[in-house]
């Protein structure tokens, strides 16, 4: 009988290791700048995902290695406008979404965010919703109140007249908290990367990685998805008009996807931006905004350049969708920014780095400087690089609603109030806690004082 000797096994293992090293060192991605370890394993990237620091980790790699960086053996991140056009081109680039988007399935359904199929959707802004929130948006503008405002806006866009009333209804407020305070990311990552480990260790896992539990939101969207009398402009009404018949769960999944994305992105951008505006280094922009609002009381948003500049700079520094958006290189491979990559290589761009690395477009990129958006020179190039909501046919479909929400609230607040940080707040608590699709303050709170302005 043939017996495998220890020396044979050791030699076979060594051969496998050497073969793997040769394959990795001669691969196409080996030519891409990046840390040596990223050429051999993706464990470092996965660790940062579990540690809620993927986006910042990739951004630091770009700072060290430049506009193109290898972040895993088969994954490359880019920051150039040419790469954005190539990967996310609205004409149909052929770069399919990776299975990474399965992390964001709702009720086991692929939604407009997680779907592998491209689709263009446009969200109208409901004037009823804007006017309703105009009068109550400044009630308690801490982080939860900003999320409440965003929740009311987006649910009215989804279900009007059956939207939420988080600022006045306790049940709706609790529902919003369930969605906005979702801490299930680590649990979903373990389930995605190792389903077997997730099943075997689920009881232990839940002690530090919570499952997604949002029963109030589930009930809210499922019950409203059954309604037949929603307004014509609502997303639900449009879903019901589709040629392909969607069942209640399909429609509820789409609506919950919109709801979660709308609450987190809009609420957190406002949270980070208003915090910045409240700091001594940026408080002058409150005065400039107030002067503009008072000198043009009946102006439309298009007639308020300082408001547009402040919001655009806020979106540049604190993108609504800071994460990288991974895609597969199509059949036959592609050349991106001079690097030839084979098919099935994972490629991506992330807004935080697009905005923070291209200092030829945004000088002093780490500085909050709204005036850059008022300069005529280079304006078109700056706006091409404004990637807070992604771009092309796969960009954020709620961009127009989100912009209207944020401009409405900023005008309502800073025409009547000055804001300043509460004494209990520390700057480190406002560091970015990366939730992949969105970000939130590390301390999960943002307390601001609202001081009425006379005159």
HSE-CB at 310 with a 13 A cutoff on CA atoms is: 29
Query: Tokens representing 52?
Result: 């809620």
Instruction: Return the pLDDT at 420.
Output: 92
Task: Please give the residue that has the higher pLDDT: either 406 or 216.
Answer: 406
Instruction: Locate 382 and state its tokens.
Output: 């700056």
Tell me the angle at which helices 248-278 and 284-295 cross, rounded to the nearest 10 degrees: 110
Cα distance between residue 307 and residue 397, in whole Å: 22
Of residues 256 and 73, which shows the higher confidence score?
Answer: 73
**DSSP type of residue 436:** S
User: Which two three-digit tokens encode residue 439?
Assistant: 């970000």
* b (16+ CB within 10 A) / e for 411-437: bbbbeebbbbbeeebeeebbebbbbbb
pLDDT for residue 256: 86
Of 220, 204, 210, nearest to 255 by C-alpha is 220
pLDDT digits (tens, 9 = 90+) for 231-248: 988 988 888 876 657 788
pLDDT at 311: 98
Q: What is the pLDDT of residue 272?
A: 93
DSSP string of 49-75, one letter each residue: HHTT-HHHHHHHHHHHH-SEEEEETTE
pLDDT, tens only, 107-119: 555 444 433 332 2
Q: Summarize pLDDT for 256-315 with one digit per residue, the tens.
A: 888 887 887 888 899 999 999 999 999 999 999 999 999 999 999 999 999 999 999 999
Which of 162, 222, 85, 141 lies closest to 419, judged by CA?
Answer: 141
Q: Of 17, 42, 18, whose CA–CA distance to 29 is shortest?
A: 42
Task: Give the single-character DSSP code of 98.
Answer: P
Q: Which of 167, 322, 178, 161 is nearest to 229 (CA)?
A: 161
- pLDDT score for 293: 97
Calpha distance 117→137 (Å, rounded): 36
Report CA 152 to chain centroid distance, whole Å.
Answer: 19
DSSP string, 21-44: HHHHHTSGGGGS-S-GGGGT-SHH
Ranges assigned E (strand) in 89-198: none
Query: Which pLDDT score, from 0 to 100, does residue 187 have?
Result: 66
For 90-135, how does the pLDDT look when each residue is reduced to its tens digit (9 = 90+)? 555 689 988 877 766 655 554 444 333 322 322 233 344 334 444 4
For residue 328, the model assigns a pLDDT of: 95
SS3 328: strand
Give residue 152's pLDDT: 92
Peptide bond into 161 cis (omega under 30): yes
pTM, entire model = 0.81
Q: Which structural domains are found in the chain, ordered by start?
A: 25-452 (1.10.630.10)
DSSP state of 96: P
State whether residue 68 is helix, strand or coil.
Answer: strand
Average pLDDT over the chain reads 82
pLDDT of residue 212: 55
How sure is the predictor about 50, in pLDDT bands with cuts at 50, 70 and 90? confident
Q: Read off the pLDDT of each residue in 150-169 and give the average, rounded to a whole number.
A: 90
In this structure, the strands spanning 448-452 and 417-421 are antiparallel
């Amino acid at each position: 009988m043939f017996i495998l000797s220890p020396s044979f096994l050791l030699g076979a293992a060594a051969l496998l290791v050497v073969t793997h090293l040769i394959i990795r060192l001669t691969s196409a991605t080996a030519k891409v700048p990046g840390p040596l370890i990223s050429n051999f394993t993706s464990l470092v990237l996965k660790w940062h995902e579990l540690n809620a620091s993927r986006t910042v980790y990739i951004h630091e790699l770009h700072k060290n290695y430049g506009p193109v960086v290898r972040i895993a053996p088969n994954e490359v991140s880019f920051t150039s406008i040419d790469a954005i056009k190539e990967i996310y081109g609205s004409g149909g680039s052929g770069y399919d979404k990776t299975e990474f988007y399965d992390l964001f399935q709702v009720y086991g359904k692929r939604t407009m965010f997680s779907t592998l199929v491209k689709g263009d959707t446009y969200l109208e802004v409901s004037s009823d919703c804007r006017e309703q929130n105009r009068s109550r948006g400044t009630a308690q503008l801490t982080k939860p109140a900003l999320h409440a405002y965003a929740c009311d806006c987006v649910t009215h866009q989804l279900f009007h007249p059956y939207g939420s009333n988080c600022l006045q209804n306790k049940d709706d407020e609790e529902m919003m908290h369930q969605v906005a305070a979702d801490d299930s990311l680590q649990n979903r990552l373990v389930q995605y990367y190792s389903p077997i480990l997730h099943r075997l260790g689920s009881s232990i896992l839940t002690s530090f990685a919570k499952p997604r539990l949002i029963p109030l939101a589930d009930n809210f969207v499922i019950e409203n998805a059954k309604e037949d009398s929603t307004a014509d402009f609502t997303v639900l009404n449009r879903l019901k008009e589709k040629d392909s018949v969607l069942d209640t769960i399909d429609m509820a999944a789409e609506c919950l996807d919109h709801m979660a994305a709308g609450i987190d992105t809009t609420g957190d951008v406002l949270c980070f931006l208003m915090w910045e505006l409240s700091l001594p280094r940026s408080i002058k922009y409150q005065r400039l905004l107030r002067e503009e609002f008072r000198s043009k009381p009946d102006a439309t948003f298009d007639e308020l350049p300082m408001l547009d500049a402040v919001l655009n700079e806020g979106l540049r520094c604190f993108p609504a969708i800071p994460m990288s958006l991974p895609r597969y290189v199509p059949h036959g491979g592609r050349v991106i920014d001079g690097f030839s990559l084979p098919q099935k290589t994972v490629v991506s761009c992330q807004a935080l780095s697009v905005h923070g690395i291209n200092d030829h477009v945004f000088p002093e990129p780490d500085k909050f400087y709204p005036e850059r958006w008022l300069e005529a020179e280079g304006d078109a190039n700056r706006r091409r690089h404004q990637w807070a909501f992604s771009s092309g046919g796969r960009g954020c479909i709620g961009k127009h609603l989100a912009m209207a929400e944020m401009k409405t609230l900023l005008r309502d607040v800073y025409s009547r109030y000055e804001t300043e940080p509460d004494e209990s707040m520390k700057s480190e608590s406002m560091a970015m806690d990366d939730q992949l699709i969105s970000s939130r303050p590390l301390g999960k709170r943002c307390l601001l004082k609202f001081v009425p302005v006379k005159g």
